[in-house]
Structure 1
C-alpha cells in the first residue's frame, strides 16, 4: 500500500459485503464499546439538561456555558456515536457519501462547540474568582453573547471543508467519518494546522491560564488568612486542584491523540498509519460526552443534589436544611447583583 495515497472510501450499497480492512470480531467489539459510550453519553447529558431546566437555582449566567456544553455533547453523540454503532455492526460505512459528509460535519462542529464552551467557561470562572469587579459583568446578556461567539466561530471551521478547504471522509477502519486528515495534500495540511491552532493551542492556553490563576489565587488567599491568624479551608483548595487536574487530563485525553495524528501526517506525509491506529483518535474524542458531565457537573455539590432530587422525584435530598437556607440566600443576592457563582 502506498502511504501517500488517499484512504479508501468504502461507500458500499451491498449490505452483504464482507469487510477486509478489519476482522469481523474487531468491528463487533467497536460496535459494543460505542453502544456503551452512546448510552452513558445520552443519559448523562440529557440528565444535565433536564435538571438545569427544572431547577431555577442552576440557571445562572455561568451555567449557560455548561448547558451549552451538554447540548453540544448530546448532539455529537446522536450524530456521531450512535451512527458508528450501526456502521461497525455492518462492518463498513454503508450510509453513503452524503451522510458521511453530514456526520463528519456534525461531529466536527459539535465537538468544537463543546471544546470552546469549556474554554469560555474556564475564562469566565477566572473572571469571577480572580477579577471580582469583572464578575459583575457576567450578566445573562453577556452569557448569550458568549454563546453566539462560540456557535458562529466554530461554524466557520466546521463548514470550511464543505467549501473545499480539506474535506470530510471515512477514516481508520472506514466506519466513521471525520476531517480527512489522512489525505496527503497541502490543502488538508493548511486546514489541519489552522484548526490545531484555533481549536487546541488557544483553548489549552486559555484553560491552563484560567485554572492556574484560580488555584494560585486560592493559595494566596489561604496564605494571607493564615498570616493573619485565621483558619483556612485546605480541603477546598485540594478539591479545586483535583478538579482542575481532572479537567485538564480529560481535555488532553480527548483531543491530544487527534491533534498528534493530524500533525504527524503534516510533518511526515510518507508515514504509513494502520487503519486501526488511525481510528483511535476519533474514538477518544467521542468519549468526551461521557466524562464532561461528570467532571464539570456532577462534582458540583449543588447540581448533584438537584440531580438526586430529580431522579427520586424529590424524595431524597443530599443537602442539610442549613445548606438549603444558605442556597436560597445566595440565589437572592446573586440575582440582585447579577453575579454568578464560580461553580
Structure 2
C-alpha cells in the first residue's frame, strides 16, 4: 500500500460517518468516557496540587509518582476528553491532523506513564533491597531518570510520524492511535519492537522489583522472629495483596493493548471486529483513573495531606505528635522511617 492510498483511506475513515454502532451505542461510550475523564482529571490534579503544597512529599521517589500524575493528566486531556466529544457525534469529526495529534499524544503520554511506573518500581527495589539503597536515589538522579523516560518514550511516539508505522482511526472510528490494523512490514516491525520495549521490558522490571521487595520483607520478618522479636503478619499480608493489586492493575491496563497488536502481527488475515479493536485502547485510557488511587491515595502520608488540603485543614487524620503534613517544618526524625516505608509500598 503506497502513501497516497494510505492518506486517502485515512481521510475517508475520518469524513464518513461509520455505521458500526447505533447512536445509543456511541452515546454510552461517550458517557463512560465522560466519567473516566472527570475522575481522572480530579484525581491527578489533586495529586499535583497536594504534592506542590506539601514540601515533604517532594522526595526523590515521589518525583516519579508526580510524573505519572502529570502524564496521566495530559493523556486524559489530549485523549479521553476528545473521545467524549467524538463519541457524542458518532465519528471522528475533527479531521486528519487532529487524529494524528491525538494518536501521538495518547501514545506518548501513555508510555511515559508506563515507564515512570517501571522506574518507580525499580527505585523502590533499589531503596529496599540494595545495600545503602536509600543513599543512591538523589534528587539529581531522579531528574535524570525522568529525562530518560521522556526522551526514550518520545522516540517511540514520534517514529510513526516519520513512516515507521502510522497514526490513524481505530476500532469504531471515534478515536485515533497507532495503525494497528495496517498490514505492512513496516507496521509489523514497529509493533514487535514496541511490544518488547514498551511491555515486555517494563513488565519484567516491575515483576522483578516487587518480587524482590516481597522476598526481602519476608526474609526480614523471618530473621526478626528467629531472634525472638515480634512481627506483624497482617502487615506483611497487606503489602503482598497491594503489590499484587498494582501488578494486576498494570496488566489489565496494558496487556489487552499489546495482545491486540501481537494478534495483528501473528495473524494478519484475522478479521477483528471494530468493537474488539476498540476495547484495548479504552482499557488503557482507564489507567489515569486508578493510578493515583493505587500509587498515591493508598499511601498514608499522602492521604492525610490530601484530606487536609480538601478540607482546608479542618480534618487531620494524624495525631498532633505524628503530624506528617505540616506546611512549616520538615519531617521530624521519628517520621523518617515512616517515609521510607511509604516509599516502598503505597499502603503503609
TM bucket, shorter chain:
over 0.9
Give the equivalent residue in structure 2 for 1:342: 344
Give the equivalent residue in structure 1 for 2:207: 208
Aligned residue for 1:177, secondary structure, equals strand
Is 2:36–2:289's contact at 8 Å kept on the other side of the alignment?
yes
Aligned residue for 2:13, secondary structure, equals coil
- TM-score normalised by L of structure 1: 0.93
- TM-superposition CA deviations, 1:84-119 (whole Å, max 9, x none): 000000000000000000000000000000000000
* CA pair 340-320 structure 1, distance change in 2 beyond 3 A: closer
Aligned residue for 2:177, secondary structure, equals strand
Is 1:61–1:340's contact at 8 Å kept on the other side of the alignment?
no
Give the equivalent residue in structure 2 for 1:10: 13
Is 2:30–2:84's contact at 8 Å kept on the other side of the alignment?
yes
Give the equivalent residue in structure 2 for 1:328: 331
Counterparts of residues 1-343 of structure 1 (less than 5 Å): 9-12=12-15, 19-324=18-323, 328-330=331-333, 341-342=343-344
Aligned residue for 1:11, secondary structure, equals helix
- 1:240 CA drift (Å): 1.3
Gaps of 5+ in 2: none
- 1:18 CA drift (Å): 5.1
Aligned residue for 1:279, secondary structure, equals helix
Is 2:324–2:335's contact at 8 Å kept on the other side of the alignment?
no
* CA pair 256-94 structure 1, distance change in 2 beyond 3 A: same
- 1:306 CA drift (Å): 0.2
Aligned residue for 1:221, secondary structure, equals helix
- TM-superposition CA deviations, 1:120-176 (whole Å, max 9, x none): 000000011111413201110000000000000000000000000000000000000
Q: Partners of 1:124 and 1:314 in 2: how far apart? A: 32
Is 1:60–1:340's contact at 8 Å kept on the other side of the alignment?
no
Is 1:70–1:289's contact at 8 Å kept on the other side of the alignment?
yes
Q: Partners of 2:343 and 2:289 in 1: how far apart? A: 24
* CA pair 68-120 structure 1, distance change in 2 beyond 3 A: same
| Aligned residue pairs, count | 332
* CA pair 325-96 structure 1, distance change in 2 beyond 3 A: closer
- 1:243 CA drift (Å): 1.3
Aligned residue for 1:144, secondary structure, equals helix
Q: Partners of 1:331 and 1:149 in 2: how far apart? A: 34
Q: Partners of 1:237 and 1:333 in 2: how far apart? A: 20
Q: Partners of 1:122 and 1:277 in 2: how far apart? A: 31
- 1:333 CA drift (Å): 5.9
Q: Partners of 1:132 and 1:315 in 2: how far apart? A: 42
Is 1:135–1:339's contact at 8 Å kept on the other side of the alignment?
no
Is 2:44–2:72's contact at 8 Å kept on the other side of the alignment?
yes
Is 1:62–1:342's contact at 8 Å kept on the other side of the alignment?
no
